[in-house]
Amino acid sequence: MDLVADLTLVLLAALVGGFLAQRLGQPLIVGYIVAGVAVGPFTAGPTVGNVHNIEQLAELGVALLLFSLGLELSFRELAPVRKVALAGATIQVVVTIALGLGLGLALGWAWRPALWFGALVSLSSTMVALKTIQAQGRLGTLSSRVMLGMLVVQDLAVVPLMIVLPELSDPAGGLVKIGTAALRATLLLGVIVFFSTRVVPRLMAFVARRNSRELFFLSTITLAVGVGYVAWLFGLSMAIGAFVAGLVVNESEYAHQALSDIVPLRDLFGMLFFVSVGMLLDPALVRQQIGVLGLVVVAIIVGKAAILAGVVRAFGYWNIVPLAVGLTLFQVGEFAFVLARVGQSSGAISNDVYSLTLNTAIVTMALTPVVSGLVPVVYGRFWPRRAQEAHEAINLPSGGLSDHVVVAGSGRVGRSIADALSHLKLPCVLVEVDDRRVQQTRAAGLPVIYGDSSQPVVLEAAGILRARAILVTVPAFPDVRSIVRAVRQLRPDLPIIARADGFNAVRALYALGIQEVTSPEFEAAIEMTRQALMYFNVPAHDVLRVARAIRRERYGQTGEKGDSGLLVMSQLGDIARQLDFTWVGVPSESSFDGRTLSELQIRTTTGASVVGIIRDGALVANPDGQARLERGDLVAVLGTRDQIARFEQAVQAGAA
């Protein structure tokens, strides 16, 4: 039970630390590290009894973290900015390692820990940078594209660093030994990739055909841990093997499901890793290093930001892009914690260097939103006449957007709406933050803005000031609410049609003054109830009454004065749903052949109405009573399902 007690203490401390970090606007990992300090062996109060057990579980967290990284890596991000991402990020990592090496030597360290320190500070935080640019509404700009591309390459750089740096920590190591280790790693990874590409897809397909969520989840975890363990048996890190497994699965059609299944487990064990990082942090040592910490933080912010900006500028990017990249990616990333643990366990870095690295990472992460927020201020101060950065717009009309509909979200609902509007030649634009969906929308030829719909600058790029209406199709209520509030600030008079899941979300959105709220689950329940009642031959007026009652109950329509317009629209929709429309052919030797509509008295005998006739490719719309039906005609019939069924039965009478 000692392990259970330790886990309970860690979970409780992580919950408190994560909550406090979120309230202070900091990344959750900062709260987890602080929680680890609180329950670690260097502080008073409740303490984890067996730190080694937590560290072993944390190793599994590192493997799952690297596996999910392989699943999430989007090489499509590199396509628009591949030169600065591939070559530029590589140069930035090397130069930043040199900066850290020089800084470590200046502090009196030996060259090996100084080199490790340079490698640790060379990587930026994908999580912190992404959340920062999302909060500032800059996701979708050219600078965000450059940053995401460079972050992908930095994440990939973790793998060679984890192979090469431990060899450098060995005093007997040299270029030959490093080369041998690299060759061994390459051969092993080649075998893993060969096995994974030949066996894994078939295995995943076999499991997926079983239609069992549990078996698919179990196979995903087994793949991540199993490949990682094989890599460890052959002298590599377990995390590297798991990373390669994630890359392989990423190329299959099962990547999304695998990632969604593994995320909760990854977050749990990843939390244990960051807590274990904090356990090794000695607060007394931090107090002793406070002066050095301040010097190092300033040097990293200034030096790394200058390197990033200089590299981006050298690859031909002007205006605000170098400044935005430099002031957003200067922080030390979360993978520095992974490398730092490897360095400490191999004896390459001392507790002093370990503590200084961790504190530098935490401080720079905390400062990222503040420093990054200075980008427009600094840019406007020194380059006031230059245009501000625009969001990426795809397939927009040459004349710009005007009198159009904005569709927030290009999922299945949003794409269906946009496809319909585009087919009718009606102007619209999609706004989407998911890069995969943006690329799918691009391929479909639909106009799309890449960005977060809850940000005013993105809505302005979508022409919200000149739009007819906005349709919010994203499912999560907090996102819908944020988008609605942003729209209300820019266009209080703009009609908003929003999607809501659940009664509380419906009422909350109506309280915000939205003209129309649609709940997919409510609409499905109403339509399926209507279909069931029709099969029981329930009269149409009773079906309509039941549908109205369900709608009033589910949507909270009370019939009060303020709801009168909504009730009218709802009733019209219910009535329209009772009518069906179809085309019926007149067969040979039908009793309808050669007779006029007046003679047939179709409306009297069947209740349906003939609203059109197609003969020899020509359409007769709204035919009068003298219109004569002939065999081979296509007749447009309007009515309820029962009425149309009676018409079809009558037209078949006497047919051959």
The rounded distance, in Å, linking the Cα atoms of 200 and 252 is 10
**pLDDT for 193:** 67
- Any idea how long the chain is? 656
Q: Is the pLDDT of residue 407 over 90?
A: yes
CB 369 within 8 A of CB 433: no
The rounded distance, in Å, linking the Cα atoms of 192 and 240 is 11
Q: Is the pLDDT of residue 91 over 90?
A: yes
Label residue 560 by pLDDT band (50, 70, 90).
very low
What is the 8-class DSSP label of residue 613? Answer: E
Q: Is the pLDDT of residue 562 over 70?
A: no
CB 466 within 8 A of CB 404: yes
The full set of domain ranges for the chain reads 2-376, 393-577, 580-651
**pLDDT for 386:** 61
Mean per-residue pLDDT for 522-534? 82
Label residue 635 by pLDDT band (50, 70, 90).
very high
CB 85 within 8 A of CB 35: no
Q: Kindly state the tokens that stand for 627.
A: 């219109």
**pLDDT for 656:** 46
**pLDDT for 416:** 92
**pLDDT for 469:** 93
Find which of 56-70, 141-155, 196-210 is predicted with most confidence, using mean pLDDT.
141-155
Label residue 456 by pLDDT band (50, 70, 90).
confident
Q: What is the DSSP string of 526-584?
A: HHHHHHHHHHTT--HHHHHHHHHHHHHHHHT----GGGHHHHHHHHHHHHHHT-EEEEE
Angle between helices 435-443 and 412-423 (to 10 degrees): 20
CB 575 within 8 A of CB 544: yes
Q: What is the fold, at CATH topology level, of the domain defined by 2-376? A: Na+/H+ antiporter like fold (1.20.1530)
Counting residues of the chain whose pLDDT is more than 70, the rounded percentage is 89
Angle between helices 142-168 and 175-209 (to 10 degrees): 120
**pLDDT for 170:** 66
Determine phi and psi for 188, rounding to 5 degrees: -65, -45
The CA distances from residue 451 to 152, 316, 434, in Å, are: 19, 24, 8
The rounded distance, in Å, linking the Cα atoms of 331 and 565 is 53
**pLDDT for 576:** 55
Domain 580-651 has CATH 3.40.50.2300: no
pLDDT, the chain, mean: 83
What is the 8-class DSSP label of residue 596? Answer: B
**pLDDT: which is higher, 69 or 472:** 472
Query: 393-577: CATH homologous superfamily?
Result: NAD(P)-binding Rossmann-like Domain (3.40.50.720)
**pLDDT for 75:** 65
Amino acid present at 292? V
Determine phi and psi for 634, rounding to 5 degrees: -105, 120
**pLDDT for 173:** 56
**pLDDT: which is higher, 188 or 648:** 648
Mean per-residue pLDDT for 127-139? 78
CB 371 within 8 A of CB 128: no
**pLDDT for 566:** 47
Question: pLDDT of 210-254, one tens digit each?
Answer: 878 888 888 888 888 888 888 787 766 787 778 778 877 876 777
Label residue 302 by pLDDT band (50, 70, 90).
very high
Of 31-35, 244-248, 456-460, the poorest mean pLDDT is in 244-248
CB 97 within 8 A of CB 116: no
CB 506 within 8 A of CB 556: yes
- What is the side-by-side strand order in the sheet with 405-408? 393-394, 448-450, 428-432, 405-408, 469-472, 496-499, 516-518
**pLDDT for 118:** 94
The rounded distance, in Å, linking the Cα atoms of 457 and 453 is 9
The rounded distance, in Å, linking the Cα atoms of 57 and 61 is 7
**pLDDT for 455:** 85
Judged by DSSP in three states, 107 sits in coil
Angle, CA 445 vertex, CA 441 and CA 451 arms, to 5°? 40
Mean per-residue pLDDT for 304-323? 93
- What is the side-by-side strand order in the sheet with 609-615? 580-585, 634-639, 609-615, 618-621
Of 217-221, 275-279, 386-390, 404-408, the poorest mean pLDDT is in 386-390
Q: Are strands 496-499 and 469-472 parallel, antiparallel or unpaired?
A: parallel
**pLDDT for 415:** 93
Q: Kindly state the tokens that stand for 208.
A: 């997926």
Q: For residue 419, give every residue at least 6 positions away whose Cβ sits within 8 Å of its Cβ, in sequence order, or none.
A: 444, 446
The rounded distance, in Å, linking the Cα atoms of 179 and 507 is 65
